[in-house]
Structure 1
Amino acid sequence: MLKQYLQFKLSQKLSPQQIQLMKLIQLPTQAFEQRLKQELEENPALESGKEKHEDYEDTFEEFDNSADEINDNETITAEDINVDDYLSDDDIPDYRTQSNNYSSDDEEKSVPYAAGTSFTQHLTNQLNTFRLSDEEMDIAEFLVGSIDESGYIRRSLNDIVDDLAFTQNIFTEVETVEKVLHTVHLLDPAGVGARNLQECLSIQLHRKEKTPDVELAIDIIDNAFEQFTKKHYKKLLQKFDVTEIQLRDAIEEIEHLNPKPGGSYSGGNKMVEHVVPDFAIRIVDGELELTLNGRNAPELHVSREYSNMMKGYKESKDKSKQQKDAVLFIKQKLDAAKWFIEAIKQRQQTLFVTMSAIMDYQQEYFLTGDERKLKPMILKDIADNIGMDVSTVSRVANSKYVDTPYGTKLIKEFFSESMTNDQGEEVSTKEIKKILETVIEEEDKRKPLTDEKLASILKEKGYPIARRTVAKYREQLDFPVARLRKKI
């Protein structure tokens, strides 16, 4: 049985303008500049630079009044105003003032681009120095193409044999591929083409001059790799019947090897990322001073030419259908320009207010640079302080950088959870991690401290935290367990 009924429901929906504003707030400086450039290209009613004697409020009010007139049902009887007249430019076009002052035999005026050689091409070029049959060369090139950015071949030889058959129409045996792989191992950088870390280190050691330390290192890697990785130094001393000094020198040889030979290649083809700080904090006469990067505060204004078109339409008595359609288009562009300018101003204000609150909250840290002075701070603390939503603060913190007297920092790094010390005071987890890092760095590496012992030391310093919490913080600081921190 069908029934009809009415239901009233209140719901909140974000307007397209609000969504665009949130996206603008989230953008870091470089991405914001790209967005600004895109908007200037797409909207002819929006112009950059400062325009004198511009009264935006009056201009926008005229836009609104004109819009009301456009929407009226009026009779079109004459064509007093031609919109094309407003679009015309009295200045001489650029192409009329340009000339080609170069003859055909002049040197090339274009700026050349730097071109780098890829890692794979670098290895392939070296293969030409070896005497290989056509089939072996094809296999070698396929192996080189299978090397990842770290310099390793992560696939088994059986899989490679299958791929050669299916994709290259080369039918061969594992033994042949392994023979060619030994040739690949002769390429530079040393260790490239290895299938695992043990083979990578072994290849590099066999390329070194044979000294007693190197020969012992080769013996350790080839015959006692598991004991070496687990740092069972007593077992190594017994197995190879050497002194601690000899073992330490051999291990030092191994530590100087490159575990990722592919990472050492710099062919000029890698992108370098530059961080542009969105804010700058300076200490002036003992006080903190916050400034917003000028690239986040562009000067924009509504095109005077487009505003004149709106005024001309408003002053005309009789309006044609063509004029009405053209001015409707102009009105849309003017409205978009008006909103974008206001959105930029709101973005600037939101960024500055949020960062000011963070600076005031972490005043002790910004004055001293001591990370132990960082107070516990979560997004809600700042959101409540400035009367904004947590999501807005998150957008500001996640992708923005601030230039401080102690380096350029990611803003989200200033946020941390809180813990209570033995005096009942709330302290930042960053403070505890800093102390933990100091304790581990100053420990006796011959007898590294266990997580239980580290927890005991932190408790003595006034931070009663559990062993499992110490283990979590230690892993976040990229320190291995005590056994793997041991040195002979």
Structure 2
Amino acid sequence: MQRLDMKQLLSQKLSPQQIQFIKLLQIPTAELEARIKEELEVNPALEEGDDADDDFEEQDRDEDDADDDFDDPDAEFDNDDNTLDEDFDRAEEQPELELPQIEESTAEKDTSDDVDLGDYLNDDEIAGYKMQGDGPGDADEDREMPLADNGASLVDSLLDQLGFVAVSDKQRIIGTQLIGSIDSDGYIRRDLSAIANDLAFSQNMEASTEEIETVLRLIQSFDPPGIGARDLQECLLLQLERRPADPDVENAERILAETYEEFTKKHYARIQQKLDLEDEEIRDAIALILKLNPKPGGSGPVGMGKVQYIIPDFILTNDNGQFHLSLNARNAPDLRVSPAYTEMFQAYDKASKKDKKMKEAVTFVKQKLDSAKWFIDAIRQRQQTLLRTMDAIVRYQQDFFAEGDEGRLRPMILKDIAQEIGMDISTVSRVVNSKAVQTEFGIYPLKYFFSEGIATDSGEDASSREVKHILKEIIDGESKGRPLSDDKLEKMLNARGYNIARRTVAKYREQLNIPVARLRKEL
């Protein structure tokens, strides 16, 4: 038997405009430029220009003067002030994003003096506005935003080199398969028998491991040196084969070929005894090996590891103790609603005859105008949120920005900044993600300024970055013939007043990419 039940549920839903603001907030400057170009292409009612306030905006809603004042992206403010601009204060008091009220239509009308937004808007989606990938999702919120790179890849370069070599059709197919099996570091880590099986299934070709080995040796002669190696030992030996013959190269080849295990463990005394080398000979040979590239796939202009340039989102200057913070001009583009589309909408109001086709046309125009306004509002609110967050970071880490000394960094977590600016931690996280600031001491990612606190003997908390900085100084000053163990490092840090355990020392050392004491040993 069917039953009818009435339930009262409380749920939270983000409006499309809020979703757009969240998406724009977390992307870096380079990504923002691409997003703005995309919006300009799909929305003809949005134009580049400095006159963002037109007649349509005045008719549709009453905007606060703070939006007009914020059009200048280079507006500066002093860090010593305890309050933000009045624009920020007013923006905080107002709701972050507010959609126009939607009135429901109870009857269909052929002609109407007003265009009801309910005719073309619904609660779930705004046609023509909804951006690709909209919707709440945690999968990509914390991911780093890579920069686009149109350079040639390592695979393309190797295939080009294969094309200049006179080989048979079978060898060319084998070579293509081998090149496709090279990983990002430049190694082939699959067994040749497995590659033979791949050729049998994908190319319907039978090839012996000897034939594949012959083609592999050919690929290993390509640039960059060391490409196509099956392990680190072979990679280093391949690079030594390209060097002119001399005693240092011969000794280096002997070390790698005959005493590779001892070399990886830095047992130099055993190597010297086994190969009967003088102190100077083994020192020069080891120095030559250390200059070789262990990851040939990420080297050179055709490597898989691409150079990506950091575009700072903020610019911070220090004028005799007065900090001035401004946004990168690319974060504050000049956008406006198209006057032509505004005139089209006004012409509809003045038209004496309004049929169904005209109503459909003006509905489309109104939709594009609203979409353009919402996008401009989202850009402006992005600017405000970025500046508020960065200003709080500057005030919190004022000692560091004054001197650039890593040891002056204070312990700071996302919650501290969120409480400072009165926003949610997730909002601060989106601001910090993939953003950077240009200072007098270099360009720093915003994540650099966030660290946990370590208890000290004085009762105060020290930044984990400060502890890492001191740990690195101690290791840099150690005797390379007898490097310090983690236990000794722990005792030295404790003697300086930092209450830190040995396992924490090991964790910080690994985060600094510093090997254990045995591997830091030098001749």
Alignment TM-score, normalising by the size of structure 2 = 0.78
Separation (CA, whole Å) in 2 of partners of 1:308 and 1:177: 71
Instruction: Give the residue type in structure 1 aligned to 2:283.
Output: R
How has the CA–CA distance of structure 1 residues 172 and 56 changed in structure 2, closer, same or farther, with 3 Å as cutoff?
A: closer
Task: Tell me the CA shift for residue 261 of structure 1.
Answer: 3.1
How has the CA–CA distance of structure 1 residues 58 and 262 changed in structure 2, closer, same or farther, with 3 Å as cutoff?
A: closer
Separation (CA, whole Å) in 1 of partners of 2:482 and 2:304: 44
Match of 2:126 in 1: none
The answer on 1:360 being equivalent to 2:395 is yes
Separation (CA, whole Å) in 2 of partners of 1:331 and 1:459: 68
Q: Would the aligned equivalents of 2:196 and 2:208 in 1 still touch at CA under 8 Å?
A: yes
Separation (CA, whole Å) in 2 of partners of 1:127 and 1:391: 55
Match of 2:311 in 1: 276
Task: Tell me the CA shift for residue 54 of structure 1.
Answer: 3.7
The answer on 1:6 being equivalent to 2:41 is no
Match of 1:480 in 2: 515
Separation (CA, whole Å) in 2 of partners of 1:65 and 1:256: 64
Percent identity, aligned pairs only, is 50
Task: Tell me the CA shift for residue 293 of structure 1.
Answer: 1.4
How has the CA–CA distance of structure 1 residues 210 and 19 changed in structure 2, closer, same or farther, with 3 Å as cutoff?
A: same
Question: Which of 151, 157, 172 matches 1:119?
Answer: 157
How has the CA–CA distance of structure 1 residues 30 and 53 changed in structure 2, closer, same or farther, with 3 Å as cutoff?
A: closer
Separation (CA, whole Å) in 2 of partners of 1:36 and 1:312: 29
Separation (CA, whole Å) in 2 of partners of 1:32 and 1:183: 45
The answer on 1:237 being equivalent to 2:272 is yes
Instruction: Give the alignment of 1:30-429 within 5 angstroms.
Output: 30-51=30-51, 54=54, 58-61=58-61, 76=111, 118-125=156-163, 127-128=165-166, 135=170, 139-140=174-175, 142-267=177-302, 272-316=307-351, 319-429=354-464
Q: Would the aligned equivalents of 1:440 and 1:449 in 2 still touch at CA under 8 Å?
A: yes
Separation (CA, whole Å) in 2 of partners of 1:359 and 1:316: 56
Q: Would the aligned equivalents of 2:457 and 2:498 in 1 still touch at CA under 8 Å?
A: yes
- For the aligned residue pairs, the C-alpha RMSD in angstroms reads 3.2
Separation (CA, whole Å) in 2 of partners of 1:335 and 1:387: 29
Match of 1:83 in 2: none
Separation (CA, whole Å) in 2 of partners of 1:52 and 1:160: 60
Question: Which of 471, 477, 485 matches 1:442?
Answer: 477
Instruction: Give the residue type in structure 1 aligned to 2:26.
Output: Q
Q: Would the aligned equivalents of 1:455 and 1:470 in 2 still touch at CA under 8 Å?
A: yes
Unaligned segments of structure 2, at least 5 residues: 64-98, 114-149
Instruction: Give the residue type in structure 2 aligned to 1:283.
Output: N
Match of 2:93 in 1: none
How has the CA–CA distance of structure 1 residues 318 and 375 changed in structure 2, closer, same or farther, with 3 Å as cutoff?
A: same
Instruction: Give the residue type in structure 2 aligned to 1:14.
Output: L
**Number of aligned positions between the proteins:** 451
How has the CA–CA distance of structure 1 residues 205 and 345 changed in structure 2, closer, same or farther, with 3 Å as cutoff?
A: closer
Task: Tell me the CA shift for residue 389 of structure 1.
Answer: 0.6
Instruction: Give the residue type in structure 2 aligned to 1:442.
Output: G
Task: Tell me the CA shift for residue 414 of structure 1.
Answer: 0.9
Task: Tell me the CA shift for residue 306 of structure 1.
Answer: 2.5
Cα deviation, 1:101-134, whole Å, max 9, x if unaligned, reads: xxxxxxxxxxxx9989932124314533xxx666
Match of 2:17 in 1: 17
Separation (CA, whole Å) in 1 of partners of 2:486 and 2:367: 65
Separation (CA, whole Å) in 2 of partners of 1:365 and 1:430: 12
How has the CA–CA distance of structure 1 residues 352 and 56 changed in structure 2, closer, same or farther, with 3 Å as cutoff?
A: farther
Separation (CA, whole Å) in 2 of partners of 1:65 and 1:26: 25
How has the CA–CA distance of structure 1 residues 297 and 140 changed in structure 2, closer, same or farther, with 3 Å as cutoff?
A: closer
Q: Would the aligned equivalents of 2:53 and 2:336 in 1 still touch at CA under 8 Å?
A: no
Q: Would the aligned equivalents of 2:298 and 2:306 in 1 still touch at CA under 8 Å?
A: no
Instruction: Give the residue type in structure 2 aligned to 1:286.
Output: G
Match of 2:498 in 1: 463
Question: Could you say what secondary structure the match of 1:47 adopts?
Answer: strand
How has the CA–CA distance of structure 1 residues 269 and 435 changed in structure 2, closer, same or farther, with 3 Å as cutoff?
A: closer
Match of 1:109 in 2: none
How has the CA–CA distance of structure 1 residues 60 and 436 changed in structure 2, closer, same or farther, with 3 Å as cutoff?
A: same
Separation (CA, whole Å) in 2 of partners of 1:40 and 1:180: 51
Unaligned segments of structure 1, at least 5 residues: 79-112
Instruction: Give the residue type in structure 2 aligned to 1:371.
Output: E
Question: Could you say what secondary structure the match of 2:44 adopts?
Answer: coil
Structure with a larger share of its residues in helix:
1
Question: Could you say what secondary structure the match of 2:433 adopts?
Answer: helix
Separation (CA, whole Å) in 1 of partners of 2:317 and 2:499: 36
